């Protein structure tokens, strides 16, 4: 009796019950979307063809998955080996992030069997969307290869694992180049719609804004993910990860603070170049200032204060704050400030089914991360390869 209860307690944990419920509802919505079309589950129309599935699942997902290239570059390109313990969790998070971005894109575009078409058959090489699609396809392949040593160590395939490990530096450089291209191109997409995007968010430098913001988004996401891992997967971490975690958080927090203040500076330069100062006195201007000051400048200051005081809690608060700021920025550009001139009755607002589908996709990522991190050498070094790192 007690053994049966113990088994039931392990299966029906709060995490399993909540995630299982969300996934069950998400599967129902998936069936509705692919049998009834976009109109059955979304509020999209001809004026608003892109909704929360693009704004959140794609734009936010790609930005927050930037921790993979940022951490790998810090460790393998710049030689900051003290951050090595953060590489595998960051790579896993990035790989799942990009995989779920592609997965989510099927809900918006449909026809998953035509997924290879833009890469292998399309001749639209002058299209920004083609460039984004090609780079995401290639970078997802790179991330899978960078992630593969984790699975290969778990499967005890030592020879294949050693071959992949020798490719680490090349994969890292290739990943940084691809990330630079598609992170910036996602911003450049919106430069083709100057009449639709509010002047405070529209700029010919959107590509630069997107790339720079992806850097501190990636740094903050690594800290945020590390905080959650320490809270819920602490028992899976070895002494190396536990010992280096504080240094990773403080080092990445310091870097994020510098990059964020630089971002604020170039945003001000962009406003000056376009002479958009008069827009700051409007309601849209207040919303813009809330984004830039409230979710970039202030968390950057908190980061700097936390690093000076070596306050880990404050660093983690700043990381979560910054992640919210990146999400706000991407949603402002793709949804809130897009089609800003339309009457409120014609403005887009997502249906609960669109939001629930996004929650479903995020939940899948969390479940897979937990599954992998509790079974494979992500938060600890495999004993057979300890001297290889």
In a domain, 288, yes or no: yes
Three-state SS at 275: coil
Q: What is the DSSP letter of 212?
A: H
pLDDT tens column, 191-218: 988 889 999 999 999 999 999 999 999 9
pLDDT higher than 70, residue 380: yes
Mean pLDDT of all residues belonging to the chain: 91
C-alpha to C-alpha distance for 248 and 74, rounded to whole angstroms: 11
Strand partners, 197: 338
175 burial via Cβ count (<10 Å: 0-12, 13-18, 19+): buried
In a domain, 19, yes or no: no
In a domain, 73, yes or no: yes
Confidence label for 6 from pLDDT (cuts 50, 70 and 90):
low
| Continuous H helices in 310-387 | 312-331, 352-373
From the list 175, 154, 224, 173, the residue with the least C-alpha distance to 68 is 175
In a domain, 17, yes or no: no
What b-and-e string marks burial along 373-385, b requiring 16 or more CB atoms within 10 Å of the CB?
beebbbbbbbeeb
In a domain, 27, yes or no: no
Mean local confidence (pLDDT), 231-237: 89
The torsion angles phi and psi of 197, rounded to 5 degrees, stand at -95, 135
Three-state SS at 126: coil
Q: What is the DSSP letter of 59?
A: I
Confidence label for 388 from pLDDT (cuts 50, 70 and 90):
low
Instruction: State in Å, rounded, how far the first CA of the chain is from the last one.
Output: 46
In a domain, 31, yes or no: no
> Which residues, 6 or more positions from 261, have their beta carbon under 8 angstroms from its beta carbon?
297, 300
Instruction: Count CB atoms within 10 A of the CB of residue 237.
Output: 20
Confidence label for 9 from pLDDT (cuts 50, 70 and 90):
low
Assess contact for 229 and 89: CB atoms under 8 A.
yes
Question: What distance lies between CA 139 and its chain's CA centroid?
Answer: 14
pLDDT higher than 70, residue 34: yes
Token pair for 42 = 């979304």
Question: How many separate domains does the chain show?
Answer: 1
C-alpha to C-alpha distance for 362 and 96, rounded to whole angstroms: 10
Q: What is the pLDDT of residue 109?
A: 87
In a domain, 255, yes or no: yes
- Residue 111 vs residue 292, higher pLDDT: 292
Assess contact for 248 and 85: CB atoms under 8 A.
yes
Can you give the residue range of the structural domain that contains 155? Answer: 48-343+352-380
- State what percent of residues in the chain have pLDDT above 90: 73
Three-state SS at 199: coil
In a domain, 191, yes or no: yes
> Which residues, 6 or more positions from 202, have their beta carbon under 8 angstroms from its beta carbon?
190, 191, 193, 194
Assess contact for 177 and 199: CB atoms under 8 A.
no
C-alpha to C-alpha distance for 267 and 273, rounded to whole angstroms: 10
Assess contact for 29 and 56: CB atoms under 8 A.
no
Q: What is the DSSP letter of 34?
A: H
Question: The CATH number of the domain where 227 resides is what?
Answer: 1.20.1630.10
What is the biggest distance separating any 2 CA atoms in the chain, rounded to whole angstroms?
74
Three-state SS at 197: strand
Q: What is the pLDDT of residue 1?
A: 45
pLDDT tens column, 355-378: 999 999 999 999 999 999 999 999
């Amino acid at each position: 009796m007690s053994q049966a209860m113990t088994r039931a307690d392990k299966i029906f944990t709060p995490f399993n019950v909540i995630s299982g419920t969300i996934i069950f509802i998400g599967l129902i919505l998936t069936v509705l979307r692919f049998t009834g079309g976009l109109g059955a589950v979304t509020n999209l129309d001809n004026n608003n063809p892109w909704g929360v599935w693009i704004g959140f699942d794609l734009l936010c997902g790609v930005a927050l998955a930037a921790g993979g290239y940022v951490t790998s570059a810090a460790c393998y390109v710049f030689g900051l080996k003290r951050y090595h313990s953060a590489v595998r969790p960051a790579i896993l998070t990035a790989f799942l992030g990009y995989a779920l971005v592609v997965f989510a894109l099927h809900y918006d575009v449909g026809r998953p069997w035509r997924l290879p078409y833009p890469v292998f058959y399309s001749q639209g090489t002058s299209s920004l969307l083609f460039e984004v699609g090609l780079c995401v396809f290639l970078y997802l392949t790179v991330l899978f290869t960078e992630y593969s040593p984790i699975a290969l160590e778990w499967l005890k395939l030592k020879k294949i694992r050693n071959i992949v490990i020798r490719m680490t530096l090349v994969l890292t450089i290739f990943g940084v180049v691809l990330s630079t291209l598609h992170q910036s191109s996602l911003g450049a997409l919106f430069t083709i719609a100057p009449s639709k995007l509010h002047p405070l968010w529209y700029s010919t430098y959107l590509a630069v804004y997107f790339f720079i913001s992806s850097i501190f988004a990636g740094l903050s996401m690594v800290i945020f993910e590390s905080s959650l891992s320490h809270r819920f997967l602490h028992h899976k971490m070895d002494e190396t990860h536990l010992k280096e975690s504080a240094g990773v958080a403080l080092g990445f927090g310091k870097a994020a603070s510098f990059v964020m203040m630089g971002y604020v500076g170039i945003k001000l330069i962009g406003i000056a170049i376009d002479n958009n100062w008069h827009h700051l006195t409007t309601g849209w201007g207040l919303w813009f200032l809330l984004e830039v000051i409230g979710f970039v400048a202030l968390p950057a200051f908190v980061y700097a204060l936390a690093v000076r005081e070596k306050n880990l809690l404050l660093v983690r608060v700043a990381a979560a704050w910054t992640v919210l700021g990146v999400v706000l920025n991407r949603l402002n550009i793709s949804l809130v400030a897009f089609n800003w001139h339309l009457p409120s009755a014609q403005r887009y607002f997502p249906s609960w089914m669109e939001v629930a589908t996004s929650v479903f996709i995020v939940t899948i990522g969390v479940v897979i991360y937990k599954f992998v991190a509790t079974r494979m050498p992500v938060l600890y070094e495999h004993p057979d390869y300890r001297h290889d790192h």
